[in-house]
Amino acid sequence: MKSKLAILMCGAALAATGVQAQDAKMADSMTIVSWGGAYQKSQINAYAEPYKEKHPEVEIVWDESSNEAVAKLRAMNEAGNITWDLVDVVAADAIRLCDEGLAMEYDPDELLAPAPDGTPASEDFGDLIVSDCYIPQIVYSTTFGYRTDMVGDTPPTNICDVFDLEKYPGKRALEKRPINNMEWALLCDGVAKGDVYDVLETEEGQARALAKLDTIKDQVIWWSSGADTPQLLADGEVVMGSTYNGRLFSLIEEQNQPVAMLWDAQVFDLDGWIIPAGLPEERLARVKDFLMFATDTQRLADQAKYISYGPARSSSAPLVGKHAELGIEMAPHMPTDPANAKNTFLYNYTWWADYRDDLDAKFQAWLAQ
Amino acid sequence: MTDATPSTQNGPMLSADGTPLKKSLQIALRRQKIRALMLIAPLLLFVLISFIAPIADMLFRSVENEIVSETLPRTVIALEDWGYDDGKAAPPGEDVYAALYVDLSEAEELKVHTRLGSRLNYETTGMSSLFRKTGRGVGRMDTDIYADQFIALDPRWEDPAAWIALMDAPGISEVLPETASAWSSWQRILVSKNDDIAEEQPEDFLYPMLFRDLVRHPADRVAAYDGPNADMLAAARAAVDGFEAVSLEEQFIDIDKDWASPEIWGTIKAFSSPYTAGYFLSSVDLKLTPAGIEEQPESQQIYMLLFGRTLFMSMVIMGSCILLGYPIAYLLSNLPLRTSNLLLILVLLPFWTSLLVRTSAWKVLLQQQGVINDILVWLGLVADGDRLVMINNQFGTIVAMTHILLPFMILPLYSVMKTIPPSYVRAAKSLGATDWTAFWRVYFPQSVPGIGAGSILVFILSIGYYITPELVGGTTGTFISNRIAYHISSSLNWGLAAALGTILLAVVLVLYWVYDRIVGIDNVSLG
């Protein structure tokens, strides 16, 4: 309700100032959509607050709807009334939004600032620009945490320990969707890392992955929200569980729970911005101005002070410093840190864009049986 | 008989102003009706606009499928003569690839080809990237050699003005049908970009169509054309036989070998009509394939299972609400007012608490390291090693939802029981009935309308519930609504979500009808 009122008020303010600020041609308010919680706080601290210091006239409204951003954007588009200016989504959603024509395509070198040494943005972000509409901010990973007090003297070091019920009895938490789980199952069923998607493309490969998951199905609690696994770990309901590495960081370092990270075969994924297609000129100008600032090398590095996600620019990595409150070095907690990234798995976006509908039906049918 | 006698003595009765009485009564009644309608008009409009229309629109999506014929209009027509023939058919001929080439060139410029790709990917895996990849490739095909050859022949072929004069000539669509059709695409592209047609150099995709039109026609047919730039056209007709040609089929297969696969073409053909039963078939575990309607492979059958489970669990939840709610409502209605009001507040208190809080509270209570298990272990009833699994399964869903929906059962029951005079039971007892007989034969039948109302409320609410099953349902306690929510918010397959929703609505209506036949809807009371 509050946010709706704020949007209404902004709309009114926009209408009022639109007449006066003819020459500036930038809207004075902006609605940014993000995930809420610690992640959104890190964005406010690293991007929004410094931006407001430079531009005190701008009002930024935050909407915590990234979870259902894809559906809401489509509904807004059909209604012809886009109320969002900038939306934070994961890479897979960005590809979907771009395919549906709901996100705006952009030119990285025109919209984004170059690195301090002059490297153009398109090179600085490199392969992480996985879609023509996507402006990546951070690299996060989906990985496992385990209870240090429930695994005996030999803590798990290998992803396949998740599938080993004899060595590590107890429940595990896995995400209620095929992505990542199918890949891990195949890796632990003896498929080489490079062949995983080739195998998963075949009916036999899919059956093989589900058969491997079948061996632990009775011992799995399936989560659908990122907060579930940390809670289950804290309650001692599960001995190990997958979730986003930032959630585990706050569980371990901020809440001091007896939990440790199992970085093995962590799956990298991206989070970033998309600009909704069809924004009016003034609002688009404001968004572009904000993005130029919020995605520069220093700002991306600053975000890592508040949350343990790696900046998407390669030029930001050396600038990552200490946690703003805890005062600990953040670099060893980044998923991209060499010690943590000894064995990583790359999430194949385009492959999943094709197979998601099909495999999801199979996975859900398997779950329901 | 005098003149004063009205001549209409045997006709209709007249009112004071001379109009027939019947008619004037009708007018008065109509005026009343209109006034009544005006009074409810705001509500009626509100319900129509904010409730009925959106639901109707959503339900319509379950059959709507215009995206294929709108994005690939020429391809759809060109494919009409091609048969899938159980996958043994050869890929369609060059004509279809030419139609696809123009359609995709336009779709790519308008950025709608990927949307079609996601739509068709619901039916055949791989369509999404096929369209994305082809969209990128279609502008880079070797078809630019046609433009080069035409322009080398006569530079006027590069001039927008010459094209406009040619394409505006009457009868041109008979001389150059494919070119005229491609020209209309070109116009739409320019309109979408706000560009002026007189300034933009014609796009590459026009020239292959021009080539195809000219090569196919005998020279005299082109010679019959006498509009503007007839000489340019005649010269081109004379030259095209010597032009270097490329096969569009090969060009497409070069981009992706899937374009040679009958499966891809079969899918496009099967979903080419503007309305489709595909979504409904998918929601009952069938599948519309190029070869016709087939059953989904067993590993993908899920919806019938979920529909059945949703109905079964809603019945169980309704039953447990009756069992738990009836004694409470009985107690409430028979206690002195002051006590019963206090108890009523206790019934309503959870009603005012957030749904998420209540569901999470059940998690804390029921989980393996939760309160109930801890107490059982402490009492020694359960060994620490095998604590009971009471959540993330059907049991957890039923417990949490019964608790959440209980007030919807208690309140109608209470208000009906409140109206049952206690003297009836006393009379029954004074006539010699036992306590049980007095209750079962006298009291209970009078409380049935309350049970009916409460059951309908609880059943219909639980059939569409999805937050609680999502949070505590695990794998065996999820409802069909969880899948609907997934297709709305995650997979964006709104057609399938609409079909599932329509079926759910139909099931509820059928059950309502059955209920009416068995119990009678007049026999329902909220008090």
DSSP letters spanning A312-368: SSGGGGGG--B-TTT--BSGGGSTTSTTT-SSEEE--HHHHHHHHHHHHHHHHHHHH
Q: Is residue B369 part of a domain?
A: yes
Range of the domain at B456: 303-523
Of B112, B305, B486, the CB nearest to A368: B305
Distance (Å) from the C-alpha of residue B83 to the closest C-alpha of chain A? 26
User: Do B178 and B39 fall into the same domain?
Assistant: no
| SS3 (DSSP) at B473 | coil
Per-residue model confidence (pLDDT) at position A224: 87
Spatial separation of the C-alpha atoms in residues A42 and A302, rounded to whole Å = 9
Per-residue model confidence (pLDDT) at position A17: 43
Task: List the single residue in B with minimal CA-CA distance to A74.
Answer: B492
User: Do B347 and B450 fall into the same domain?
Assistant: yes
User: Do A264 and A282 fall into the same domain?
Assistant: no
User: Do B384 and B504 fall into the same domain?
Assistant: yes
Q: Is residue B452 part of a domain?
A: yes
Tokens representing A70 are 């894809």
User: Do B236 and B193 fall into the same domain?
Assistant: yes
Cross-chain Cβ contact A354/B478 below 8 Å: no
Tokens 């209409």 correspond to what residue?
B8
User: Do A128 and A51 fall into the same domain?
Assistant: yes
User: Do B34 and B159 fall into the same domain?
Assistant: no
| Alpha carbons within 13 A on the beta-carbon side of B192 | 14
Asked whether B131 and B252 are in contact (CB, 8 A), the reply is no
Stretch (H or E) spanning A260: strand A259-274
The pLDDT of residue B7 is above 60 = no
Residue A6: give its domain's CATH number. Answer: 3.40.190.10
**Can you say how many angstroms the Cα of residue A49 is from the centroid of all Cα atoms in its chain?**
21
Spatial separation of the C-alpha atoms in residues A57 and A280, rounded to whole Å = 19
Task: List the single residue in A with minimal CA-CA distance to B132.
Answer: A99
User: Do A279 and A264 fall into the same domain?
Assistant: no
The pLDDT of residue B3 is above 80 = no
Q: Which of A112, A117, A144 is nearest to A128 (CA)?
A: A112
- The better pLDDT of the pair A315, B519 is held by A315
User: Do B41 and B151 fall into the same domain?
Assistant: no
Please state the rounded mean pLDDT for residues B360-389. Answer: 92
- Considering Cα of A77, then A79, then A81, then A85, what sign does the dihedral take? negative
Cross-chain Cβ contact B299/A224 below 8 Å: no
Per-residue model confidence (pLDDT) at position A8: 44
Cross-chain Cβ contact A224/B478 below 8 Å: no
Range of the domain at A116: 2-133+275-319
**Residue pLDDT, tens place only, B240-287:** 989 999 999 999 999 999 999 999 999 999 999 999 999 999 999 999
- The better pLDDT of the pair B521, A81 is held by A81
- The better pLDDT of the pair B43, A9 is held by B43
Per-residue model confidence (pLDDT) at position A100: 87
User: Do B332 and B459 fall into the same domain?
Assistant: yes
- Give contacts of B136 with chain A, Cβ < 8 Å: none
Spatial separation of the C-alpha atoms in residues A92 and A196, rounded to whole Å = 19
- Give contacts of A67 with chain B, Cβ < 8 Å: 489
| SS3 (DSSP) at A222 | strand
**Residue pLDDT, tens place only, A52-104:** 999 999 999 999 999 889 999 999 998 899 999 999 999 999 998 998 889 99
A89: which strand partners? A272
Per-residue model confidence (pLDDT) at position B21: 86
Distance (Å) from the C-alpha of residue B183 to the closest C-alpha of chain A? 24
Tokens representing B374 are 């801890």
* Chosen domain end from B295, B328, B362: B295
Query: Chain B residues within 8 A (CB-CB) of chain A?
Result: 111-112, 114-115, 117-118, 121-122, 125-129, 132, 299-302, 305-306, 309, 367-370, 392, 470, 474-476, 478, 483, 486, 488-494
Asked whether A283 and A85 are in contact (CB, 8 A), the reply is yes
| SS3 (DSSP) at A45 | helix
Tokens representing A273 are 């911005």
Distance (Å) from the C-alpha of residue A368 to the closest C-alpha of chain B? 5
Question: Out of A58-62, B7-11, B145-149, B477-481, which region has the weakest mean confidence (pLDDT)?
Answer: B7-11
Please state the rounded mean pLDDT for residues B395-408. Answer: 94
Statement: the pTM of the whole predicted model exceeds 0.90: no
Q: Which of A350, A333, A353, A342 is nearest to A139 (CA)?
A: A333
Domains of chain B: total: 4
**Residue ranges for chain A with pLDDT beneath 70:** 1-24
Q: Give me the interface pTM, i.e. the ipTM.
A: 0.87
User: Do A125 and A232 fall into the same domain?
Assistant: no
User: Do B262 and B360 fall into the same domain?
Assistant: no
Spatial separation of the C-alpha atoms in residues A298 and A319, rounded to whole Å = 7
Q: Is residue A41 part of a domain?
A: yes
Q: Is residue B7 part of a domain?
A: no
List helix spans (H) across chain A.
Answer: 2-20, 37-43, 49-54, 69-79, 91-99, 108-111, 121-125, 181-188, 196-200, 203-214, 228-235, 245-249, 281-294, 297-303, 349-368
Cross-chain Cβ contact B125/A70 below 8 Å: no
Cross-chain Cβ contact B299/A362 below 8 Å: yes
B295: which strand partners? B286
Q: Which of A236, A190, A192 is nearest to A212 (CA)?
A: A190
The pLDDT of residue B386 is above 90 = no
- Give contacts of A368 with chain B, Cβ < 8 Å: 302, 305-306, 309, 475-476, 478
Spatial separation of the C-alpha atoms in residues B521 and B513, rounded to whole Å = 9
Of A171, A235, A354, the CB nearest to B126: A354
User: Do A104 and A88 fall into the same domain?
Assistant: yes
Residue % of chain B over a pLDDT of 70: 98
User: Do B181 and B221 fall into the same domain?
Assistant: yes
Q: Which of A237, A219, A246, A279 is nearest to A77 (CA)?
A: A279
- Give contacts of A358 with chain B, Cβ < 8 Å: 125
What angle, rounded to 10 degrees, do the helices at B53-60 and B494-518 form?
A: 120
- Give contacts of A367 with chain B, Cβ < 8 Å: 475
User: Do A243 and A315 fall into the same domain?
Assistant: no
Please state the rounded mean pLDDT for residues B124-136. Answer: 92
List helix spans (H) across B49-176.
Answer: 53-60, 66-71, 73-78, 94-110, 113-121, 127-138, 144-153, 160-168, 172-175
- Give contacts of B125 with chain A, Cβ < 8 Å: 354-355, 357-358
Domains of chain A: total: 2
- CB atoms closer than 10 angstroms to residue A245: 25
- Give contacts of A353 with chain B, Cβ < 8 Å: 121, 128-129, 132
Per-residue model confidence (pLDDT) at position B9: 56
Distance (Å) from the C-alpha of residue A153 to the closest C-alpha of chain B? 20
User: Do B463 and B401 fall into the same domain?
Assistant: yes
Cross-chain Cβ contact B129/A353 below 8 Å: yes
Query: Chain A residues within 8 A (CB-CB) of chain B?
Result: 67-68, 70-71, 74, 96, 98-101, 105, 171, 207, 210, 221-222, 224, 235-237, 350, 353-358, 360-362, 364-369
Per-residue model confidence (pLDDT) at position B10: 65
User: Do B288 and B346 fall into the same domain?
Assistant: no
Asked whether B98 and B212 are in contact (CB, 8 A), the reply is yes
User: Do B312 and B455 fall into the same domain?
Assistant: yes
Give burial (CB, 10 Å; 0-12/13-18/19+) of B458.
buried
